[in-house]
Amino acid sequence: MQESMQSARLMAYALWSTELQLVAMKAFDKSAIPARPVLERQVNSASTLHMPASAGFLEGVSCGAIHAAAAHAAAHMRFGSGHADDTAIKPLHQAVLGVLEDARVESLAMEELPGLRRLWQVFHEELATDDATLEALLRRLTRALFAPEWKDTHPWIEKGRRLYLGARSLGWAELRQAASILANDIGQMRVGFDAVNYLVQPAYRDDNTHLWRMPEGRAIESPQPLDQPDPSEETFGSRGAGCRAEDDATDLRLLGVVPEWDRLISRYRADWCSLLEVQPSEGNPATLFAQMQAQTAWINGLARRIRKATSMQPQLVRANAGGDFHETALIDAGIALRAGSMPDAGIYLRTAATHEPRRIVFIVDASVSTVGPCPPWLAPSRRRLLYGMALLTALACAAFEQAGHDCTILGFNSNTRHCVRIQPIKNEEEPVSSSSVLARLVGLTPEWSTRSGAAVRYAMQLLHDTSGSMIVLVSDGQPHDVDIHDPRYLPEDLQRAAQEARRRGVTVLGLEIGPESGMAPGVNKAPGWLCTCASSLSMTADAIVHAIRQGTY
């Protein structure tokens, strides 16, 4: 495979002087390796085409497929388009637009270099099918656009060919409009689309994620949120996702950047997410304080369990009374008497468990998905989910403080990787029961998205790799951002962040709350990631104590 990739790299350069590196993907979990190539476009350096290493990729024709994939990637780089605001296109529209854009760049490439048709044609001949599923229709449209002489009388295919021919020479905006019309027709046909398992066809074509991501070196201007709620709907008091970045620009302070794990290429993207600090709003803390007072027994009980779980091994210490003498204390007392001073009365032995304060960081998901109703076991009446998460955070934090530990509370949400907002709610010196801390907790507003991995990495920076520390992520368990449409991407990045923390002696506990809580399949059981879908206060207490005992101390 290495010889074929080297040959394909030289071929790409020979076509249009395209600097293209080809590398085989490697992953810690082979099931995470995508079944299609992934093109990573760069502005000021060579782009990279990541080739799948899975056994199911292009079996039997790997050499020709690698050359076909390289030529297709080079065509994208020579004739391709795409814009920053295309991150908000829905998955079905992305699939249709990807078919049209793939056909466009290949047709332009074949006009310049007709011999490329022979390289790609063999893969299109395998796409013939009479099925009426959406995947089959996309395959049929792909072949119809590649081979104009091939006849397909399906009305949607004929319409797709007609719209494509009308938009092909005009530009990206017209192509996108054509894709929108075709996708809307699919919606009218009530044909289901499995976005998670959809694969671009033919198999030599890359997965088109580069169409929705900006190349490194270019900035995204004024990213817009997806699925903005109607501002008139105030059932649970959310401001929704309608907040624009420029509205808060004067209140933002850059905290730094953190990396992010990209499962598609099985590597980290360095300095990928920008962390911005914004001062939180404040609300009325009276109700939250009253509900904390009502749960005093739960706080006291959890504090006792935390104190017991975090106590170090029993040690012999000095005491003023007891049955045995402390030998070192007797010597010190004798020296003091000979020196003419009063000796310490603690000359006896006592067994005691010593206590070492630990550092706990709570990070609260303040994304728009927390606008829904709070579970009745957590907060009464029509409270939104975020309020319940704030209450649970305050209760757990109070128990840790009563047990003698230092706690920090942060709120977070995101609007693409360029704007991960961190809201400082409480520092280690402030008691959680203070009116100012509770006011900031109540003032959290559901908006934007959830880039949890970036928030966990920032919490790790605050802890300075202090062994025995803990990060508690309180969320609805739905990582999401408007520039990511792969449902496994952000959960697997969060899993990686938890593993990074584990290696540094920091435990990460996920407390998921809400009717739709739950990570992507397989993430909850990942090494280093402790996660509980809480459905009661007792379950929450058990999860916290279990996480303390599972930690590396």
pLDDT digits (tens, 9 = 90+) for 137-175: 999 999 999 998 888 889 999 999 999 998 888 778 889
Over residues 362-391, mean pLDDT: 90
- Residue 511 pLDDT grade (very low, low, confident, very high; cuts 50, 70, 90): very high
C-alpha span between 532 and 488 (Å, rounded)? 19
C-alpha span between 124 and 144 (Å, rounded)? 9
Query: Do 44 and 152 lie in a common domain?
Result: yes
C-alpha span between 470 and 553 (Å, rounded)? 11
Pair of tokens at residue 534: 């809480």
For 398-415, write each residue's pLDDT tens digit: 999 999 999 999 999 999
Residue with more model confidence, 353 or 409: 409
Tell me: pLDDT of 504 over 70. yes
Cβ-Cβ contacts under 8 Å for 456 (sequence gap 6 or more): 363, 471, 473, 494, 497, 498, 501, 508
Query: Do 397 and 523 lie in a common domain?
Result: yes
Helix (H, G, I), strand (E, B) or coil at 311: strand
Of 530, 537, 522, 234, nearest in space to 395 by CA: 537
CB atoms within 10 A of CB 346: 17
Query: Do 154 and 193 lie in a common domain?
Result: yes
Pair of tokens at residue 492: 């697997």
Query: Do 51 and 191 lie in a common domain?
Result: yes
**Domain-terminating residue out of 296, 331, 355:** 355
Environment class of 519 (CB within 10 Å of its CB; exposed 0-12, middle 13-18, buried 19+) = buried
pLDDT given at position 238: 39
Helix (H, G, I), strand (E, B) or coil at 369: helix
| Residue 180, strand partner residues | none
Query: Do 338 and 479 lie in a common domain?
Result: no
Peptide bond into 202 cis (omega under 30): yes
pLDDT given at position 218: 43
Cβ-Cβ contacts under 8 Å for 465 (sequence gap 6 or more): 504, 505, 506
Pair of tokens at residue 546: 């279990």
Over residues 170-187, mean pLDDT: 88
Task: Return the DSSP state at 241.
Answer: T
pLDDT given at position 317: 65
Pair of tokens at residue 307: 């104190």
Query: Contact, 97 vs 105, CB < 8 A?
Result: no
Query: Within a domain: residue 257?
Result: no
- Residue 546 pLDDT grade (very low, low, confident, very high; cuts 50, 70, 90): very high
Over residues 272-291, mean pLDDT: 94
**Length of the chain as a residue count:** 553
Query: Within a domain: residue 223?
Result: no
Of 381, 396, 375, 379, nearest in space to 533 by CA: 375
Query: Do 341 and 443 lie in a common domain?
Result: no
Query: Do 447 and 320 lie in a common domain?
Result: no
For 41-89, write each residue's pLDDT tens digit: 876 678 889 888 654 454 444 578 899 999 999 999 999 875 545 556 7
pLDDT given at position 126: 76
Q: Provide the pairing of β-strand 20-24 with 470-475.
A: unpaired
Q: Look at the block and give the residue holding tokens 């760069």.
A: 42
Residue with more model confidence, 90 or 517: 90
Share of the chain above pLDDT 70, in %: 81
pLDDT given at position 120: 95
Domain with 421 in it: 286-307+357-550
For the ranges 147-161, 336-350, 476-490, 509-523, the one whose mean pLDDT is highest: 147-161
Query: Contact, 253 vs 277, CB < 8 A?
Result: yes
Over residues 182-205, mean pLDDT: 86
- Residue 275 pLDDT grade (very low, low, confident, very high; cuts 50, 70, 90): very high
For 244-255, write each residue's pLDDT tens digit: 444 444 478 899
Query: Do 20 and 125 lie in a common domain?
Result: yes
pLDDT given at position 363: 98
Query: Do 340 and 470 lie in a common domain?
Result: no
Query: Within a domain: residue 10?
Result: yes
In this prediction the pTM is 0.64
pLDDT given at position 43: 66
Query: Do 97 and 70 lie in a common domain?
Result: yes
- Residue 262 pLDDT grade (very low, low, confident, very high; cuts 50, 70, 90): very high
Over residues 531-545, mean pLDDT: 91
Number of structural domains in the chain: 3
Query: Do 9 and 48 lie in a common domain?
Result: yes
C-alpha span between 279 and 273 (Å, rounded)? 19
Helix (H, G, I), strand (E, B) or coil at 164: helix
Query: Within a domain: residue 266?
Result: no
C-alpha span between 256 and 460 (Å, rounded)? 13
What would the 3-class secondary structure string for 401-420 be? HHCCCEEEEEEEEECCCCCE
Query: Do 404 and 379 lie in a common domain?
Result: yes
**Domain-terminating residue out of 186, 211, 236:** 211
Pair of tokens at residue 113: 């270099």
The secondary structure element, H or E, covering residue 13 is helix 2-16
C-alpha span between 101 and 182 (Å, rounded)? 14
Pair of tokens at residue 448: 């934007």
pLDDT given at position 247: 44
* CATH classification of the domain holding 528: 3.40.50.410
Tell me the helices (H) and strands (E) count for the chain, helix number first.
Answer: 15, 13
Give 513's Cβ-side CA count (13 Å radius). 33
- Residue 475 pLDDT grade (very low, low, confident, very high; cuts 50, 70, 90): very high
In Å, how far from its chain's centre is CA 20? Answer: 29
For the ranges 39-43, 175-179, 331-335, 411-415, the one whose mean pLDDT is highest: 411-415
Query: Within a domain: residue 529?
Result: yes
pLDDT given at position 209: 86
